[in-house]
Amino acid sequence: MAMEVTQILLNAQSVDSTVRKHAEETLKQFQEQNLPGFLLSLSGELASEEKPVDSRKLAGLILKNALDAKEQHRKFELVQRWLSLDMAVKAQIKTCLLQTLSSPVTDAHSTASQVIAKVAGIELPQKQWPELIGSLLSNIHQVPAHVKQATLETLGYLCEEVSPDVVDQDQVNKILTAVVQGMNAEEGNNDVRLAATRALYNALGFAQANFNNDMERDFIMRVVCEATQSPEVKIRQAAFECLVSISSTYYEKLAPYIQDIFNITAKAVKEDVEPVALQAIEFWSSICDEEIDILEDYGGDFTADSNVPCYYFIKQALPALVPMLLETLLKQEEDQDQDEGAWNLAMAGGTCLGLVARTVGDEIVPLVMPFIQENISKPDWRQREAATYAFGSILEGPSPDKLTPLVNVALNFMLSALTKDPNSHVKDTTAWTLGRIFEFLHGSTVETPIITPANCQLIITVLLQAMKDAPNVAEKACGALYFLAQGYEDTGASSPLTPFFQEIVQSLLTVTHREDAGESRLRTAAYETLNEVVRCSTDETAPMVLQLAPIIMTELHQTLEGQKLSSDEREKQSELQGLLCGCLQVIIQKLGASEATKFVFMQYADQIMNLFLRVFACRNATVHEEAMLAIGALAYATGPDFAKYMPEFYKYLEMGLQNFEEYQVCAVTVGVVGDVCRALEDKILPYCDGIMTQLLKDLSSNQLHRSVKPPIFSCLGDIALAIGENFEKYMMYAMPMLQSAAELSAHTSGADDEMIEYTNLLRNGILEAYSGIFQGFKNSPKTQLLIPYAPHILQFLDSIYMEKDMDDVVMKTAIGVLGDLADTLGSNAGSLIQQSLSSKEFLNECLSSDDHLIKESAEWAKLAITRAISV
Amino acid sequence: MSSHDIRRPFKRPAISDQQRRRELSLLRQSQNRRDAQLQARRLASTLLSLQSTQHDYNEQQLDIEVTKVPAELESYAEETEDDYGDHKEAHHDLRQATKLRGHEARLWFAKQLMHPEWMIDVPDNLNTDWYVFARPAGKRCFVVSSNGTTISRLRNGILLHRFPSALPNGARTNNSKSAQSYCILDCIFHESDETYYVIDGVCWAGISLYECAAEFRFFWLNSKLAETGACDAPSTYHRYRFSTLPVYNCDKEGLQTAYAGQVPYVKDGLLFYNKHAHYQTGNTPLALVWKDENCSQYVIDTDNKGQVPSQQQVVLELLDDGRLATSDDPPVIFGCLLGAFVQKTELHRGDLIKFAIGEGGLVVVNGKLEKADLQFLGKSNRARAFADSYSKVLFQHAARYSHLRIEHLFASISSCVEDGNSTQDAEMAG
């Protein structure tokens, strides 16, 4: 048998596909027929020094895949399967794995490391395999360096796999000690030192207590800083990665080390090889991220309830940091703008400069301006590009007061560079910089307008011209036009873009038809800009938006005409369909918002709906999502007449609700169900059995992404409001589900911010469902059906009130539910309401809220309660 | 444990347009959901405040003025109960009204508006007691602003628009307004410039105008509308422009200006309002409409093909005993159908029936209808809420045979102005 496994594993890697397929099939059968035997023979294969390295390696990989999977539900199944295996079998497998760590064959011990970490990820949270860490640590003192290396790697993977709270502090201390010792300069073996440094990266999350201890922290920091000076590139890089991770995890502990770190990073940026220098720049970008977050959260006021104060590291380092970053800007690569995956020193440096500008604001301007003036007109394109990029990078952060005078001077230069500069790289950055100018300094909130009647025409002419340039330049020009249009979003009835509207739309359509529009994301950018131009258009240009509708419809129609396509072409076709559906969605929403245009637009409704239905016949998630979004907008605009599309549309609605894998499609479809409910009101009734079945299935599925569940609850409310007392037949299914979800979401104790945010979304969905149900049953003779649920709902309101962690949205919805309950149940619930906390403290709190929406809902609730308890 | 990717977005917008579309859709959906819920609550809360006062609760936020609105609506329903026999809908309150469908809904909503009678003869003191203004052509509707949204309903109850407006509590931006602060305006929606022309109003920011004279109502609405910015050009939170109308004292100049003056809208006749009259729901002789070919495209009624039929047509309501009545209070009886005919044609009490006026015409003696030559045509269009009013039938009749001309109106004014010095100030500058 053992011999056989070896051969099968080797066959499974054969170049001959028949042999390979046969071997894969045999492995599959073996696994299905006898899982313990299968796993045992794999671990035996991996551990055996007599076996060929290829079969050992594959045995390890199959073992690993038997323990973990990407999809949540599959992963859960595998964990359960492992846990239910016979103890003796598991013990034997684990022994083989630990034994393999001592193998001199790198592929074998390195694969074993990963498998051990996966087993640990399952067993440690269950308090199983308590001896693992101890036995690993005992390896550290083994003489052969490869054993030490394998053990450190295992510790690193283990820290990546398990959460810090399942490992005792005592064991954490031992792991860190072993890792830091392995990193020490005294460690002669570079492989061991690299493994230790990489292990520390993962172990940093475990080191909270150690970083609070000055001596231990000093020691860790010293070792990390020393490792950045190692002669070995990989060790230097790994050490800088540790510094980057420390900068975000332990920002508040960095003050004593920041000067040394600056010196180390400055030297690396100047002298070291690119992968190391990039990490050194990333350290400062990461510090910027931290300080931007802190300053945004607390607005510089740390006396209040801030957890972490801002140490202004960037502000202090500014005079040295900015010149260092400016220098990197001159190290561009020739064709970086055409290469999607490019990431080099100039790009990282410019990105960091932008973050520094956001962190310090005005102070950066005088430090950067001389560099710009010095380089902007130089014959070397690198200097012109670097100067332009520097300018574009500092446009977000400093105040408009500071920037506007500079931009007024620079604008004409930029426009001329975009037209005349011989270098496409310079043009690319110039167009991008113009986009940044319009993004941050143009709009109804800006006091001194950058774009005036005097220069508007020139700007547009230049941008439209640049849209004929190389794809990367044209894409940036589209981006600039996007923000130009966005700035005129709130101009009122008349927009300065009106005279150019036709020309802009025509130029954008021309761009979408360019043969090279597939490069540099150009076609996408052109449609996105077209969408924004339509969104920001005014009544003056409504007739032209109307004319655009049949043009886009024709384009969509053409993509649906059945020519045979290769899979590559089909993918491109799908992408185009997605863009066209997106564009139609924006047009529908725009024209549907005004009675006059809606009326004219409705002549296209049948044709458009027909196109969307044909789009659904194509299998591509993005396209489905886009078509669904567009149909939602159409349903809203069409109102009750949408009923005529339902017989054909329904099956796609159902398909969307069943799409667990592409949860965005499911989420969007749920939203469209709401649109259709409001459009059709009780005419949706014939479809409700099917819709409700799907929604309830979605709610009970653990495969569906959790973010879709709150909107599904809200959607139950939409349905109840639309069909009124006809909701009765769904009550026996919907109510228990709402009830148990309410119980789960009532308390958040110990949850992190993200979980609290999700819980509030869930609460809001549940409460919206209750509101819809109460309102739907109002004045119905069946109101009494709701009475049994009232105590639980009031209790839910009381408990989220006492939890004191609901956001304003939940507060508004919650107090509204109280009103709806009182209004619908009236005196039937009078005494229940009077007993509830919500009707007193919570109501009073809402009545005195500063948020007028909360206050309004509360006033409504008060009136409804007054009546309910007075009868 | 390979190296960790540190690539950051480069020269790219932070958010994709698709994500933006998704978020805008969600925003629209949640706003629509809120609108749907607020709508249900708004109608209920109007009713609640009514009931609360009836039970005499001393809730401080219950504004006495506010509660008059529904009280007035309610009392109207009681008054008219007799005309509709034992119709159940007579007692509908506002909340139940939202559940009404079809014919009942039309009846209910139509009853909330004041309907001017048609001018078949010139009232006394036209030049001292009356206002005149040119009526815009368009859809007559109630505009209600409340709870952050504005809704217009046609006289048959059908929703015309739901939109944000600068009226008090008419958009979600007007914070600090309590839920009770709402407006009910009597408007004509003029299609071509998408403007609501305010011809009257019954409630402003929670203050009832029902029991105020037209003089005060016009003054109040004119100044308040201007203050709120409701007359400004449309913007994000103000979808349709509102406009007041130039209202004149009905003296010689006033009548001349209203009749022949330039207005930014298409005229459909002249409206005359008695200065001292309160807003009265239903037909009233204290507001009058008059038209001729010079100031209206629609003087003589047309059929559904837009043609003027060779014979005048009237719509009358069938009462219990077969009598045929106008919409007036009390109704004017035009004739009677025989029981056998009613049975054969499957007509029911309350049906609106269309007749042509035959060669016998209408015989009016001393202002009273003596005889009408009615020829049965069939049931009227289902969208109709009401039978014709007596004044309308007579005006239409006169328009065909002996029209009350503008010269008659001027003559009437001159005859009562002895000193010839009519005031010419236009009190209401639109």
Confidence of residue B151 (pLDDT cuts 50, 70, 90): confident
Angstrom distance (rounded) from CA A107 to CA A58: 10
Residue B419's pLDDT band (cuts 50, 70, 90): very low
**Tens digit of pLDDT for each residue in B40-69?**
565 545 433 433 333 333 333 323 233 333
pLDDT of res. B15: 57
Where residue B422 falls among pLDDT bands split at 50, 70, 90? very low
Chain B closest CA to A432's CA: distance in Å? Answer: 7
Please write the tens of the pLDDT for every residue from A142-182: 778 899 999 999 999 999 999 988 899 999 999 999 999 99
Look at phi and psi of residue A299 and say left if phi exceeds 0, alpha if psi is from -120 to 50, else beta: left
- List Cβ neighbours of A389 (8 Å cut-off, separation of 6 or more): A329, A346, A350, A429, A433
Inspect the interface and report whether the beta carbons of B18 and A595 lie closer than 8 Å: no
- Bridge partners of residue B352, in order along the sequence: B317
Q: What is the mean pLDDT of residues A540-566?
A: 90
The mean pLDDT of A821-848, rounded to a whole number, is 90
User: C-alpha distances in angstroms, B93 versus B77, B129, B146?
Assistant: 9, 35, 18
Mean pLDDT, rounded, for B221-245? 87
* CB atoms B44 and A582 under 8 Å: no
Containing B241, the helix (H) or strand (E) segment is: strand B241-243
**What per-residue string of b and e applies to B86-116 under the rule 16 or more CB within 10 Å gives b?**
eeebbebbbbbbbebeebbbbbbbbbbbbbb
Mean pLDDT of B227-233: 86
Task: Single out the residue of B140, B300, B280, B289 nearest to residue B211, CA to CA.
Answer: B280
| Residue of B76, B426, B25 lying closest to B263 (CA atoms) | B426
What ipTM was predicted for this assembly? 0.71
pLDDT of residue B221: 87
Which tokens sit at A430? 């110039």
Q: What is the mean pLDDT of residues A235-258?
A: 96
Q: What are phi and psi of B282, to 5 degrees?
A: 85, -170
Residues of B in contact with A445 (CB under 8 A): none
* Cβ-based contacts of A244 with chain B (< 8 Å): 4, 6
Q: How many residues does chain A have?
A: 871
Using 50, 70 and 90 to split pLDDT, how confident is the model at A842? very high
Contacts of B16 in chain A (CB under 8 A): 528
**B368: pLDDT confidence band, cut at 50, 70 and 90?**
confident
On whether any CB of chain A is under 8 Å from the CB of B55, the answer is yes
Query: Do B55 and A870 lie within an 8 Å CB cutoff?
Result: yes
**What is the least distance, in Å, from the CA of B166 to any CA of chain A?**
14
Chain A, window 832-861: residues with a beta carbon less than 8 angstroms from a chain B beta carbon: 852-853, 856, 859-860
Query: What is the per-residue pLDDT across A67-114, written as a single tens digit (0 to 9) for each?
Result: 999 877 788 899 999 999 999 999 999 999 999 999 999 999 999 999
A629–B179 CB contact, under 8 Å? no
Q: How many A-B residue pairs are in contact by the CB < 8 A criterion? A: 151
Contact flag A852-B176 (C-beta cutoff 8 Å): yes
Q: In the structure encoding, which two tokens stand for residue A26, read together?
A: 């045999």
Say yes or no: A237 contacts chain B, CB-CB below 8 A. Answer: yes
Of B17, B28, B52, the CB nearest to A528: B17
Give the closest-approach CA distance of A190 to chain B in angstroms.
16
Class of domain A547-702: mainly alpha
Query: DSSP secondary structure string, A357-407?
Result: HHHHGGGGHHHHHHHHHHHTT-SSHHHHHHHHHHHHHTTSSS-HHHHHHHH
Average pLDDT, chain A: 91
Report, as an integer, the average pLDDT of A805-821.
93
What confidence score (pLDDT) does residue A667 get? 93
Distance CA B296, CA B267 (A): 6
Handedness of CA A451, A457, A458, A461 (dihedral sign): positive
Q: What is the pLDDT of residue B39?
A: 62
Non-local CB neighbours of B423 within 8 Å, separated by 6+ positions: B249, B251
C-alpha A159/C-alpha A768 separation (Å) is 42
Q: Where are the domains of chain A?
A: 1-129, 399-537, 547-702, 705-870
Distance CA(A855)–CA(A836), nearest Å, equals: 19
pLDDT digits (tens, 9 = 90+) for A409-443: 999 999 999 999 999 999 999 999 999 999 999 98
* pTM, to two decimals: 0.68
- By three-state DSSP, how is residue B425 classified? coil
Burial class of residue A400 (count of CB atoms within 10 Å of its CB; 0-12, 13-18, 19+): middle
Q: Which of chain B's residues have a Cβ under 8 Å away from the Cβ of A586?
A: 21
**List of chain A residues whose C-beta atoms are within 8 Å of the C-beta of residue B96:** 779
Model confidence at A54: pLDDT above 70: yes
| Chain A residues near residue B29 by CB distance under 8 angstroms | 632, 671, 674-675
B-contacting residues of A 24-83, CB under 8 Å?
Answer: none
Mean pLDDT across chain B, nearest whole number? 74
**What token pair was written down for B285?**
């002789």
Looking at residue B383, what is its pLDDT?
Answer: 66
H/E element, A340: none
Instruction: Spell out the domain ranges in chain B.
Output: 18-48+99-290, 313-408
Facing residue for A351 by CB, picked from B8, B44, B180: B8
B18-48+99-290 classified as CATH 3.40.50.10170: no
| Residues A870 and B55: beta-carbon distance below 8 Å | yes
pLDDT for residue B18 is more than 60 = yes
- CA distances (Å), origin A831, targets A532, A787, B58, B284: 54, 12, 21, 48
Give per-residue pLDDT as tens, B187-216.
999 998 999 999 998 878 766 677 677 888
pLDDT for res B330: 78
Q: How far is B133 from chain A (nearest CA, A)?
A: 27
Is the model more confident about B198 or about A568?
B198
What A272-277 contacts at long range (C-beta under 8 Å, 24+ apart), as own/partner pairs, is A272/A236, A273/A233, A274/A344, A274/A345, A275/A233, A275/A237, A275/B3, A276/A233, A276/A236, A276/A237, A276/A240, A277/A328, A277/A345
A153 touching B (Cβ < 8 Å):
yes
**Does residue B390 surpass a pLDDT of 50?**
yes
Tokens describing residue B32: 């629509």
Does B22 contact chain A (CB < 8 Å)? yes
Domain A705-870 fold is Leucine-rich Repeat Variant (1.25.10)
Q: How far is Cα of residue B158 from the mean position of the Cα atoms in its chain?
A: 12
CB B149 within 8 A of CB B39: yes
Report chain B residues whose CB lies below 8 A from the CB of A471.
none
Q: Given this structure, which CATH class describes domain A399-537? A: mainly alpha
Which residues of B, range 91-110, sit inside 8 Å of A by Cβ? 95-96, 99
Q: Quick one: pLDDT at residue B108?
A: 63
Please, what is the Cα angle at A192 between A190 and A197, to 5 degrees?
A: 90
